[in-house]
A and B are shown apart, each in its own frame.
Chain A
Amino acid sequence: MIDNGLLVQMLLGALLGLSVYLPLATGQLSLATPAFYAVGGTLAALLSTRWSALGATADGGFPLASLLLELVLGGLLAGGLALLVGRPVLRLRGIYLAIATIALVEIVRVAILNLPFTGGAIGIFSIPQPFTDASGYLVTALALLALAGWLCQRLEAMPLGRAMAAIRDDELAAGCMGIDTTRVKLIAFVLSAVVAGSSGALAAHFLNTWNARQGSFDVSVTLLAFVILGGSRTWLGPVLGGLVLTALPELLRPVGDVRLVLFGLVILLGPVLVPQGLITPALLERLGGWSWRGTLRTPSAPQSNPSEEPS
């Protein structure tokens, strides 16, 4: 039932979940991930089909090194865009920030639909394939997810990650403590864009075709569901949410059209039934013995109960 193709989709879902999680870890609800995903994917689709120096062969093959280059370039372009729009946008908070990022997603979607070189509604197709079957994509996506996960894990132990958590809990207090809140939020936003851009570049090759629909408002909603279900207090939450909720519609395919209704129900009921998501720091604590437990505490820290959530 779960084949390699579905596994790749699940891993991409987990990566995009991480991309939504990163700004949320600073308390900022950004729905911009699909815009960055679309930018990365479009770049990869354009480069691999138009730029012969990357080495696409006549029978649709593609060198692995070029794919890796595209992953980097997709991440850089998306990160650059985030840097550009992030500074003004991140002055906004709450609903305003959410609406501004929806606007960004729509502007990017309409631009990709209408630019003369992105193929209009049909998009770009016959994107060359670096692998002969899905298992190659599986390894690449797994590597990408491991890299992004390692980054999030490292963040928790670094001053940057602690600053992010401080801003999430109380932005004003964090500012008073001398944290440059704008800068930290901007870094989280750019990191989120880099993850989304690289994922888009990989997805473009995996899907073989790329069009404006890949980065629409619907996708924002879907990704939000990943984080809501999985939980936004640890990076493992969105990863789990992305894996499960990407697989769920496929596994429910026999049920037919009802699967989208069930999907909506998750978003509707999740915040009420599992307000913190499935994976919480308290749960990880209880599982015990995990390496990340230690990174949250310093020896000098007083005995605090991590399961106590600031409301």
Chain B
Amino acid sequence: MIEALLQTLLNGAASGGVYALVALGYTLVFSVLGVINFAQGALFSIGGYLTFLLMGGKIGVNGALPGWGLPAGLPFALALLLAAAGSGLAGLLVERVAFAPLRRRRAEPLLALITSLGAGVVLVNLLQILMGAEGYAFPQGADALGGLPDALVIAGARIRTIQLLLLLVSAAAVLALTLWLERSKGGQALRAVAEDATTAQLLGIHSEAMVRLAFFVSGALAGLGGGLIGVSVSLPGPYFGIGYGLKGLAVLVLGGLGSVPGAIAGGLLMGLAEALVPSEASGWRDALAFAILFAVLLLRPSGLLGRRVVDKV
């Protein structure tokens, strides 16, 4: 009984960690530009597929280059890091094509919602052309995890190593991001731009560079999540990231738009809530995030830890 509960909680915390990664990606961009990057789900997919390819996976028969793959696979940790960097670069590309042109024209910020959706659709479908629509499974067992055992026994409960890894890696990423934002020069500059871009610019901060940095880190976080989920579950198809992107959106609103601690707390809360849905009702699990989102929007639109924003007139 206790073991089952422990397992459930760990599963919840592990997926919650990934939700927090996605939500933090949204948060970074939102705090700098005040807009939401709807291509985040596509970047999540890209991270998953890049991790697969870098670990030596081969493209399936429906892909553009059937049977193509790297001659030798990289170890999991390195592949994951490189994939995150790759998703970060894709995030930069999204900024360049979907956000920068609108910013230059001082267009209605809500339009960025639409252009970034378009960028996401393009990226996911390019991925589908390259890799095909079929699912991919990562190699399982000790080899895949760099020599770690497949499962650990903690307090009598058998726990998949990858679940633990999922939690640890996302916790480490969240911690690193928070420290970076709070302590480093770059992080402070980013927060300054988020607070007031014009003033930051006057103080000698290159705010355009900070915007690009936010998009890179945001894409890397999504890519990290995609790689972790891919190894833990599988890659069911190029669209798999979209679902996580939408869940991340729910987490974002739950925690409060633009709040870093809110995104983390919201992610964990959402993961745990989903894990506690009894298995008989598992079909409804996907609606839970959005039901919570709906309730939060109606009861407390500023989110759990968000600042109340008063519209200036």
Interface residue A71 (Cβ < 8 Å from any Cβ of B): no
Q: Is the interface of A mostly helix, strand, loop or mixed?
A: helix
Interface residue A269 (Cβ < 8 Å from any Cβ of B): yes
Among the 9-residue stretches A91-99, A158-166, A192-200, A288-296, the one with 4 or more Cβ atoms under 8 Å from chain B is A91-99
Alpha-carbon distance A5/B220, docked complex (angstroms): 44
Of chain B, the residue at the smallest CB distance from A228 is B114
Chain B 128-163 per-residue mask, 1 if CB under 8 angstroms from chain A, else 0: 110000000000000000000000000000000000
Of chain A, the residue at the smallest CB distance from B286 is A110
* A89-B298, A107-B287, A264-B121 as given contacts; A99 in contact with B115, CB under 8 Å: no
Which residues does chain A contribute within 8 Å of B294, judged by CB atoms? Answer: 100, 103-104, 107
Interface residues on A, range: 35 or more
Interface residue A268 (Cβ < 8 Å from any Cβ of B): yes
Interface residue A106 (Cβ < 8 Å from any Cβ of B): yes
| Contact yes or no, A110 B283, CB < 8 A | yes
Interface residue A111 (Cβ < 8 Å from any Cβ of B): yes
* A221-B117, A268-B122 as given contacts; A29 in contact with B110, CB under 8 Å: yes
| Contact yes or no, B129 A265, CB < 8 A | no
Interface residue A267 (Cβ < 8 Å from any Cβ of B): yes
Alpha-carbon distance A106/B249, docked complex (angstroms): 12
Interface residue A272 (Cβ < 8 Å from any Cβ of B): yes
Q: Which residues 285-309 of B have a CB within 8 angstroms of A?
A: 286-287, 290-291, 293-294, 297-298, 301
Q: Which residues 226-250 of B have a CB within 8 angstroms of A?
A: 242, 246, 249-250
A96, A100, A264: the one contacting B118 at CB < 8 Å is A264
Q: Which residues 86-130 of B have a CB within 8 angstroms of A?
A: 97-98, 101-102, 105, 107, 110-111, 113-115, 117-123, 125-126, 128-129
Alpha-carbon distance A107/B122, docked complex (angstroms): 26
Alpha-carbon distance A267/B118, docked complex (angstroms): 5
Which residues does chain B contribute within 8 Å of A95, judged by CB atoms? Answer: 35-36, 110, 113, 257
Interface residue B180 (Cβ < 8 Å from any Cβ of A): no
* A260-B121, A264-B121 as given contacts; A99 in contact with B283, CB under 8 Å: no
| Contact yes or no, A261 B122, CB < 8 A | yes
Interface residue B253 (Cβ < 8 Å from any Cβ of A): yes
| Contact yes or no, A94 B110, CB < 8 A | yes
Interface residue A61 (Cβ < 8 Å from any Cβ of B): no
Which residues does chain B contribute within 8 Å of A257, judged by CB atoms? Answer: 125, 128-129
A88, A89, A224, A271: the one contacting B102 at CB < 8 Å is A271
| Contact yes or no, A272 B101, CB < 8 A | yes
| Contact yes or no, B117 A224, CB < 8 A | yes
Interface residue B72 (Cβ < 8 Å from any Cβ of A): no
A206: min CB distance to chain B, Å: 25
Of chain B, the residue at the smallest CB distance from A113 is B283
Interface residue B4 (Cβ < 8 Å from any Cβ of A): no
Alpha-carbon distance A232/B117, docked complex (angstroms): 18
Which residues does chain B contribute within 8 Å of A269, judged by CB atoms? Answer: 115, 118
Alpha-carbon distance A257/B64, docked complex (angstroms): 11
| Contact yes or no, A106 B118, CB < 8 A | no
Which residues does chain B contribute within 8 Å of A239, judged by CB atoms? Answer: none
Interface residue B310 (Cβ < 8 Å from any Cβ of A): no
| Contact yes or no, A99 B249, CB < 8 A | yes
The chain A residues found within 8 Å of chain B, CB to CB, are 29, 88-89, 92, 94-96, 98-100, 102-104, 106-107, 110-111, 113-114, 172, 217, 221, 224-225, 228, 257-258, 260-261, 263-272, 275
Q: Apart from A113-B283, A264-B119, A268-B121, list 10 A-B contacts with CB within 8 A.
A: A99-B297, A103-B293, A103-B297, A257-B128, A258-B129, A260-B125, A263-B121, A264-B118, A264-B125, A275-B111
A-B contact pairs, 23 of them (CB 8 A): A88-B298, A89-B298, A94-B110, A96-B301, A99-B36, A99-B253, A100-B298, A102-B246, A106-B246, A106-B290, A110-B286, A221-B121, A225-B118, A260-B125, A264-B120, A267-B114, A267-B118, A267-B121, A268-B119, A271-B107, A271-B111, A271-B115, A272-B107
